[in-house]
Each structure stands twice: as C-alpha cells, then as structure tokens.
Structure 1
Amino acid sequence: MSLTKSLLLVALATGLLLLIPLVAMQYTTEVNWTFSDFVFAAVVLFGAGSTFVLIARMGTNGTYRLAAGVGVVAGLLLVWANAAVGLVGSEHNLANLLYGAVLLVALGGAIAARFRPLGTSNAMFAAALTYVAVTVIALFVWKPTGAAAEPSVYLVNVLVANGVFATLWAVSGWLFRRATNAHQQLA
C-alpha cells in the first residue's frame, strides 16, 4: 500500500476514534471534552499512527512490524496517561515531565540506529531502563499529600502502573531483537 493511502487510513481511524467521545458526550455528562481535548487527541493519535506507518515500512518481516507497533503503543500510552492523569501524582505534577526522557531515548536511539532491528532493540531496552530510572527519581522528587498520602497504596499503584509501561518498552526491544535474528537468517 502506498504511503499516501496508509496515512489516509490513519487519518480515517483517528477520526473514527474521536467519534467515540463525541457521541458519548451526547448521552452522558461523564464525558466532557473541550475543543482542545479533541485537538490533543487528534494530534497524538494521528502522530502515533503515522509514526507506526513510517517505521513499519522499514521492516522486512512481521516481527519487526509487531515490535514497532508495541513501541509506538508504549509511547502513545505514556503520553496519553501522563496527560490525562499523570504517572506520578496528578497530571499537573512537574515530575511527570521527566517521562519525556523516555520518548527521547527511544526515538533518538532508533534514529541513531537508522531503525535497524538490533540498534532499535537496544534503544527500546534503554527506554525501558530510562522509564524505571525516571520512576525512581520521580518518587524521590514527589511526596504524596492529601488523599494520595497513604504510602503503601500509593507506592503499589505507581510501581504496578509504571512497571507495565516499562515492560512494554522491554517487549518491544525483545521483539526487535527477534526481528534481528529473523533478518540474519534470511541473509
């Protein structure tokens, strides 16, 4: 499929996904998106879809494309969760800005590796480690107050949620590593 058609499909999927909250707003007051919420969601969804399309085209096998998909989903979820509720504290907590380093490591490493499977695998593993390091640093920077002050509940929630995100980056790295092996067997 041509790049133009692929990007049109991403745009169509983005539009269809944005219809979900738009329709929900007609039936419930629980969903209350502003115009800026729709713009943010459109940019993030279209950006993630376009990124996947561009990276997946560089792969030679399904494992590479799956690895790219997992990596893009990890980035999408990181941005979405951080903007919606924050990964440490609320979305307004400045410690959450540290998670931008994870995206820089993942994308910067993949670009430096020219999206070759082995180098991109290393970039995804580095992103997973960066994710863990940022979480630890953020936990030292931010001390919960108010309703979130119950330390054991707070700590478990943060560790489990952030552990899932870090695992997504590691799975992407593992899949890129498998794509490297599949690529070498074809050569």
Structure 2
Amino acid sequence: MEEMQGTAKDGGAWRMSRWRVTTWGVAALILLLPLATGAPWTGSDFAFAGIFLLVPLGIYELVVRRTGDLTYRTGAGIALVATVLLLWVSGAVGIADSEADLLYFLALAVGVVGVFVARFRPQGMAYAMFATALALASAGAASLVAGMVPARNSASEILVITGFFVVLFIVSALLFWEAARGEPERWAV
C-alpha cells in the first residue's frame, strides 16, 4: 500500500497509513460484532453504535489532518478514548446513581466548551483537559458527599472509576501542554 504524507505544502492530502486503515477497520469489525454473535440488535442499535464509534474517529481524523505533532495527536486520542469510555460506562451501567451521572456528563460538557474556546490550540486544550479532570473529580466528590452511591457500586469503586478518568484527562492535558511548548509559534493566531 502506498502511503501519502499530508502536509500544508501539498494542500493537506489525505494520508493513508496502515494505522488509520487498521483503526477504521477495527471500528467496523466492532460494529459488526453483534451481528456475528447473534445479539438481538435493531437497526437503531446499530445506528447508535455507529455514531458512538464513528464520531470520535472522525474527530481524530480531523486532528490527524490538522497537525503532524505526535504529542498533540496522542493527547487528542487519549481525550477522545476517555470521553467515549466515560459516556459508555455512564450510559450503560452508570457510575453513581442516575442524578449523579448527569454530573459526569456536565464535566464532559466543560471539556467540550473548553476545546472550542481554546480553538484547538495546544495550550488552551491543556487548560480544557485540566478543567475536565477537575470537573470529573468534583462530580465524583459530589456524588459521594450527597450519598448518591447505588447498590451496584461502593464508594471506593466510584473513587477508583472517577480517578481513572481524571488521570486520563490529566495525561491528555500534560501532552497538550508539551505540544504547546514544542512549537508555540505554529499555533499563533
């Protein structure tokens, strides 16, 4: 397979790499897995799962096209994976009780708003990811303080789950921070 390197010089031509083909292929296989296992999914189930998988991959595609900075790409990838996992866990089984899980969704909204305010610049992205981590930690603390601990999870499990996501967003923030230090002039307005 021939690979094309997309750069600003060649007009941002699409870069066909083995990693990207593999990523999209794995997403397609994950989407087809319920069909192979005979799971009783409806068309709307497949549509929801497709959106759930393809939107983050599409966003990552845009990141890959926008920058060749591996640190920035890794930070974006970790943030997207953390977001998808958090939505999946919160939506499928829940972390705390249903009212408290809304706090986790609001924490993600903090990150989304921060990303757009930052206009995708690395330093602003770092601040947005730190704010998301702080909002997630606050959601977990509020859940515990308010006693919103369901029978399926203990307080320590909520702490561990919340801590896991907080760490992912902090790692993403640190990677964005490093990307900002690497080439600050490239991101200037």
TM-score when scaled to structure 2? 0.78
Structure-1 residue corresponding to 2:35: 22
Match among 31, 46, 62 for residue 38 of structure 1: 46
Structure 1 or 2: more helix by fraction = 1
| 1:3–1:87 Cα change, 3 Å | farther
Paired letter, 2:137: V
- What is the alpha-carbon distance in structure 1 between the residues aligned to residue 145 and residue 42 of structure 2? 34
| 1:137–1:70 Cα change, 3 Å | same
Structure 2 unpaired stretches of 5+: 1-5, 7-12
Match among 133, 137, 144 for residue 139 of structure 1: 144
Structure-1 residue corresponding to 2:161: 161
Paired letter, 1:171: V
Structure 1 unpaired stretches of 5+: 26-30
Structure-2 residue corresponding to 1:120: 125
Could you tell me how far 1:14 is from its partner in structure 2?
A: 3.3
- How many positions carry a matched residue from both structures? 173
Contact 2:96 2:158 in 1 (8 A): yes
- The Cα offsets for residues 166-185 of structure 1, whole Å up to 9 and x where unpaired, read as 11111100000111111149
Of all paired residues, the percent bearing the same amino acid is: 35
Could you tell me how far 1:21 is from its partner in structure 2?
A: 2.4
SS in 2 for 1:57: helix
Could you tell me how far 1:53 is from its partner in structure 2?
A: 1.4
TM-score when scaled to structure 1? 0.79
- The Cα offsets for residues 82-137 of structure 1, whole Å up to 9 and x where unpaired, read as 11111114xxx132122122221112111111111001101000100000011112
Match among 70, 78, 97 for residue 70 of structure 1: 78
- The Cα offsets for residues 45-87 of structure 1, whole Å up to 9 and x where unpaired, read as 1111111112333334111111110111111111111111111
CA RMSD of aligned residues (A): 2.8
Contact 1:88 1:158 in 2 (8 A): yes
